[in-house]
Structure 1
Amino acid sequence: MAKDKKKQNITHEDIPQNTKATAKRLLNRLGRQKRNLIIIVVATLLSSAAFTALPLAVGKGIDALVAAIRSYDGSVGIVETALQVLWLPVVLILASALISGLLAYLQQYLIASVGEELTLSFRRDISAKLHRLPLRYFDIHKTGEVMSRVTNDLEKVSAAMQEGLPQFISSVFTVLFAAITMLVLSPVLFAVVVVSLLVSMVATGFVSTLAQRAYGENLASMGALTGKIEEIYAGNRVVKVFNQQQAMLAAAEELNERQYRAQRNAQFSDFTIYPTIRALGQLGFIATAVLGGGMALGGAITLGTVQAFLQYVNQISEPVTETAYVVTSLQAAIAGAERVFALLDEEEERPDKRGNAGSISQGHVMFRDVRFGYTSEKTLIKDLNLEVHPNEMVAIVGPTGGGKTTLVNLLMRFYELNGGSITIDGQNITDLPRSNMRRHIGMVLQDTWLFEGTIAENIAYGKRDAAREEIVAAAKAACCDHFIRTLPQGYDTVLSGEAAGVSQGQMQLLTIARAMLTDPAILVLDEATSSVDTRTEVEIQKAMARLMKGKTSFVIAHRLSTIQNADLILVVRDGDIVERGTHAELLSMNGFYADLYNSQFEARVS
């Protein structure tokens, strides 16, 4: 049952929910390249017409040759006679083939340009959209899901534009021209071809359904196997620590066996079932040959007409047989485009106002009657009031999920308030452009992020025009100058995606140096020293003390020993500030903070 359900899910994924609306939007986007599309349609029309003329030219040549043979009297040489009757059909055949080939080349060249231009326009819009989406969107959507919109879904659209759509247009014109020509040549033989094609189409529809299931199970099993292998390698150390090698190997072997069976069934569909369907399609060819031969012997039609019919059967049988492929490709493309449009339709951040954040210099922060909730059903922060004076160090502590990080996220305007206001130096942050406001706030997160580039470029990420002397000064202040100079190229050492040669703690130091270099009016440290050893942490605390002079700083910490010198400690629980004061004042209250502080030592003793 579970396996059948998985197949249905995979099939459902490529079925658009609103085909008409999505196709209309896709066509409107394609309409931006109207000129190329018109040329493509005209080229396909003429190419199909020239391709349809080939069997007629060949048939005329055969009829002319048969007539010449019957009337041959020996007065003229055989070669000369053949040349007299065949030169025109041969010229027509060559012209038709040349015109059809050139136009098909033009069509493929332009359709490739159209497809890539469409994909490029989507990627540009998605890239711009991702920068305008609120942080809330990324909280409820997995990274892999977003990446799939940019990669897999767009690939489906691109593949359909470059293969499925031109094949569909070409097939329609080819079948239409061939059908009209056959109907004119011989309605009886055309009826035979239609019946055989109907049989082939019914068989194709039935078998393509079975094949889709096989491919769906193959994709599902491959995804499960890949995920399990990635999980095993990523957690290799943990697997060995708990002696779970055999269990993990057994699980991987089971998935491997499942993938083997699914792949075998998919290969069977490709190499056995579809050739059988193509053989069924040739029934029309056989029936046409037998009946047409009898009609030719009876004088009802010419031998050239029979030959032309046989070629037309081949011309239309393949497009009809591949209808399922083309329809599936276009369906998957529309489904992919639908998901891309859904991303582009997501609600964006509120537009920036034209305030001036340049006057932010003191770092005087006010929270007034602030209300906020990640969802409309649950309010996390209710009527929060807080004033932080310039040059104050404010520590925020509390249990996990209590709302510590939420406070600084609201200050950074990563989320919009449900009520109340936050001001910096008397200016409401909603009246300031986000980018300008954030230039005055330095933030160091617990999760480090370094891009592929030199160490100097990573430190200067927030100040691209920084001189090397400024970069080195920031690195020294963050206690990372020493280890940088021990690297092969020093500040010019290139960090890869895995930051080879740099430990997690050293990466954290680099992000701290990055924040220091911008010299912000407000400094936010969200567990910034969590990956640093005790000795280095002491050094950083000293450096922070020097750098935070003249700055307002918010420090989120779990180790309460690191924030004892804070000017103000906020104890946050369930979104509310339940206690506030200095370290000594809070201990004297013998309340929640005192319990948190003392629990650290109890844990060590136990």
Structure 2
Amino acid sequence: MKKEKDFINEDIPQNFKKTVFRFFKIILKQKKKLILIILSTILSSLTFAALPLAMGLGIDNLVEAIKTYDPQIGILQTLISALSTPILFMSLTFGSSCLLAYFQQYIVASVGEEITLELRCSVSNKLKKLPLSYFDNHQAGDIMSRVTNDLEKVSSVLQVGLMQLISSAFTILFSMIVMFRLSPQLFILVIVSLAISLFATGYVSVLAQKAYTENMKAMGALTSKVEEVYAGNRIIKTFNIQTKTLEDLEKYNHRQFLAQRKSQFADYTIYPIMRFLGQLGFIASAIAGSLLALNGTLTLGTVQAFLLYINQIAEPVTESSYVITSLQAAIAGAERVFSFLDEKEENLIENNSNVHIQQGHVLFEHVQFGYTKNKILMNDLNLEVKPNEMIAIVGPTGGGKTTLVNLLMRFYELNSGTIFIDGHDISTLPKQAMRRNIGMVLQDSWLFDGTIKENIAYGKQDATMDEIIQVSKDACCDHFIRTLPQGYDTKLSSEAMIISQGQMQLLTIARAMLTNPSILILDEATSSVDTRTEVEIQKAMTRLMKGKTSFVISHRLSTIQNADCILVVRDGDIVERGNHSQLLNLNGFYASLYQSQFEG
């Protein structure tokens, strides 16, 4: 288990500026809408900035009306004469500001959704292009956190925070211009107050950035652990380690709680600090403004307008500080998403896409491979498999049996050496075209949510119903399919699987049969079926493998005695090769394996 320090600091953003620049490059793809947002924001901010002037004008008119009040005119007529123009102006500017704000929000929501859709599509496409080695080295929960929680954080800030930031910037700009024109002396006082506020906010924002990143990392680790527990729920109960599992979950949950608490503390600290400092600036400006008004330097309406402008500035400054903090959380999430999108993809070569594998002649020449550079599994593997041969691969667990066929499928790239199929170096063949000619049945039976018919036709989606039924009969699964309520139209679901593990494996065998590949790979394909069904499957496999090059991995040596060649693989190397009789006569590793299975 990682230490606490490693757990927290492992995913701190390494290049904040680079991430921001890349993020805005994506935003700039919506140029036309961004121009509309900026124009509407400018107009909205101008109308909003004009409101305090209208109120100040109204107060000055009212003060002047009080000084020159004529009883013959009357109070009502005096008020109408003094306030009609300011009130009309305020109504128009406020109405215009509201309409423009609605238009801004509508466009911003559109921009945010389109950018989020683009990122989600990029992530979805990336998942299909990543090599298996990436998923071997990354936890499923962490990947899920990157493509869900982190993207959701980015989407939220785009649709809410971006508009607030742009609107706040223009509101502050226009308000400060008017304030400077009204009173340079008071304006300097406000600037000093804002500088103190910004300095305090900047200091807290640095702490907030780290807190947000820690929280995201902790959330990813917790999600991964929860996913692991749900997937292994049956094993946990079998071995009665619920208490230990809950304790482990509690540790991850507590780490996430601490990280979340730090994040929320930073989040909710900035806003009160800005409020408090803003009010200090307001009080100082009110005292200074009242002195200037008493000296006759400013009118009462001007002082009132200036104080309203302080509030107009204080609120956007507070909002922008809050949004900047949220943006930091979004940037931390965006960096995790970008790092995912920057992962090295499979080298998909699209030329020679019409190459067809017909003979199934396979040749390994001086193949060297290791899952890591520091640990080489295969040092110098040489193997020739002639067309239509059945090659059985046996050996101890971890000896490299599955690795051999994984290299043939190009799930992993070689360190050195070459693998040829029908004389073609597989590194020069497009993986899609090559894999269409190779059928593979794994020990782990994978079925997706859909009907049984759709699952069987997964590799050949234009297959006819007659073809599906025929391969189902060959794979000994037609009978149990017809006993289901909807037969071939029975829907399978990962939440409620209505068939057994062995039946699932039969369906995967039928799926491989339907594609009629030139090369067939069976990796413990009958490990989950009973002995009687296995005999039937072996008969079906014999028919299926006729005219095909076949690689069969099996721990049950009774199922591979008729193989043309049996390879005994140990520590990544072929230590013995030959047919069943030859290997027994060698009285070596294969003979000891065989005797251990059939002794007595």
TM-score, normalising length: structure 1: 0.88
Alignment of 1:124-523 (within 5 A): 124-204=121-201, 235-245=232-242, 274-275=271-272, 278-352=275-349, 354-355=351-352, 357=354, 359-523=356-520
Q: Is the 8 A contact 1:357 1:433 kept in 2?
A: no
* TM superposition shift of 1:513: 0.8
> For residue 447 of structure 2, what is the amino acid of its counterpart?
L
The one-letter amino acid paired with 2:75 is: I
Alpha-carbon contact 1:48-1:174 (below 8 Å) kept:
yes
What SS does the corresponding residue of 1:395 show, helix, strand or coil?
Answer: strand
Equivalent-residue separation in structure 2 for 1:152 and 1:19 (angstroms): 19
| Superposed CA offset, 1:113-142 (max 9, x none) | 222222222232333333333333333333
Q: 1:598 is matched with which residue? A: 595
Matched, 1:112 2:112: no
- The alpha-carbon deviation at position 199 of structure 1 amounts to 4.4
Contact between 1:16 and 1:332, CA under 8 Å: does it hold in 2? no
Q: Would you say the 8 A contact 2:270–2:322 is kept in 1?
A: no
- Deviation per CA, 1:305-345: give whole Å up to 9, x if none: 12212221221212323444322222233333333333333
Residues matched between the structures, number: 599
Q: Which moved more, 1:448-457 or 1:331-340?
A: 331-340
Q: Deviations over 1:376-425 (max 9, x none)?
A: 44443344332222222111111223221222122222233344433333
Instruction: State which of 67, 72, 77 in structure 2 corresponds to 1:70.
Output: 67
SS in 1 for 2:457: helix
Aligned residue runs from structure 1 range 17-56, under 5 A: 17-56=14-53
**Greater mean deviation of Cα atoms: 212-221 or 93-102:** 212-221
CA distance in 1 between counterparts of 2:99 and 2:226 reads 48
> SS in structure 2 opposite 1:401?
coil
Letter in structure 1 aligned against 2:14: Q
Residue type of the alignment partner of 2:5: K
Query: Counterpart of 1:347 in 2: which secondary structure?
Result: coil
Q: 1:153 to 1:49 in 2, by over 3 A?
A: same
| Aligned equivalent of 1:566 | 563
Q: CA deviation at 1:582?
A: 0.9
- Aligned mates of 2:232, 2:418 — CA distance in 1: 45
Q: Which stretch of structure 1 is more off in the superposition, 331-340 or 203-212?
A: 203-212
Aligned amino acid, residue 585 of structure 1: Q
CA distance in 2, matches of 1:172, 1:235: 52
> Per the alignment, do residues 130 and 240 of structure 1 end up closer, same or farther by CA in structure 2, a change over 3 Å counting?
closer
Q: Which moved more, 1:49-58 or 1:331-340?
A: 331-340
Cα-to-partner distance string for 1:349-371 (whole Å, 9 max, x where unaligned) = 33425326554223222223333
CA 1:106/1:124 → structure 2, altered by over 3 Å: closer, same or farther? same
User: What residue number does 2:5 align with?
Assistant: 5
CA offsets per residue over residues 221-242 of structure 1, 9 Å max, x none? 7777776666666555555555
CA contact (8 A) 2:48 2:93 kept: yes
* Change in CA separation of 1:333 and 1:375 when aligned onto 2, cut-off 3 Å: same
Q: CA deviation at 1:571?
A: 1.0
Q: Which runs of 5 or more structure 1 residues have no equivalent in the other structure?
A: none
Paired letter, 1:329: S
Structure 2 match to 1:580:
577
The aligned residue for residue 94 of structure 2 is 97
Residue by residue over 1:442-471, the C-alpha shift from the partner in whole angstroms, topping out at 9 and shown as x without a partner, is: 111112221111110011001111111111
CA separation in 1, counterparts of 2:309 and 2:243?
A: 61
The residue identity in structure 2 corresponding to 1:360 is I
2:57 corresponds to 1:60? yes
Distance 1:73 1:181 in 2: 34
Give 3-state SS (helix, strand or coil) of 1:184's partner. helix
Between 521-530 and 320-329, the greater mean CA deviation after superposition: 320-329
Per-residue deviation, residues 17-75 of structure 1 (Å, max 9, x unmatched): 22333333333332222111122222222221211111111111121122122212133
Between the aligned partners of 1:256 and 1:242, the Cα distance in structure 2 is 23
Instruction: Tell whether the 8 Å contact from 1:371 to 1:384 is kept in structure 2 after alignment.
Output: yes
SS of residue matched to 1:182: helix
The answer (yes or no) to whether the contact 1:200–1:321 under 8 Å persists in 2 is: no
Alignment partners' CA distance in 2, 1:346 and 1:253? 32
Q: Give a deviation string over 1:261-318, Cα, whole Å, max 9, x none.
A: 8877877777788546524432223333343334334432122112212221221212
The more displaced of 142-151 and 549-558 is 142-151
1:569 match: secondary structure = strand
**More displaced stretch, 218-227 vs 123-132:** 218-227
Cα distance in 1 for residues equivalent to 2:573 and 2:251: 50
Name the stretch that deviates more: 537-546 or 193-202.
Answer: 193-202
Residue identity opposite 2:424 in structure 1: Q
* Preserved CA contact (<8 Å) 1:6 1:217: no
Alignment RMSD (CA, Å): 3.2
Distance 2:573 2:233 in 1: 41
Judging changes above 3 Å, is the alpha-carbon distance between structure 1 residues 214 and 295 closer, same or farther for their aligned structure 2 residues? same
CA offset digits 1:489-523 (Å, max 9, x no partner) = 11111112335212222211111111011111111
Q: Which amino acid aligns with 1:522?
A: I
Task: Please state how far the C-alpha of 1:213 moved relative to its aligned partner.
Answer: 7.8
* AA of the residue aligned to 2:563: A
- SS of alignment partner, residue 458 of structure 2: helix
Contact in 2 for aligned 1:7/1:213 (Cα 8 Å): no
Give per-residue Cα distances to partners, 1:173-202, cap 9 Å, x unaligned.
211221222122123332333344344445
**Structure 2: gaps (5+ residues):** none
Q: CA deviation at 1:6?
A: 7.2
Contact 2:139 / 2:224 at 8 angstroms: preserved in 1? no
CA offsets, 1:503-557, max 9 Å, x none?
2222111111110111111111111112222222222112111221111111111
Distance change >3 Å, CA 276–CA 80, structure 1 → 2: same
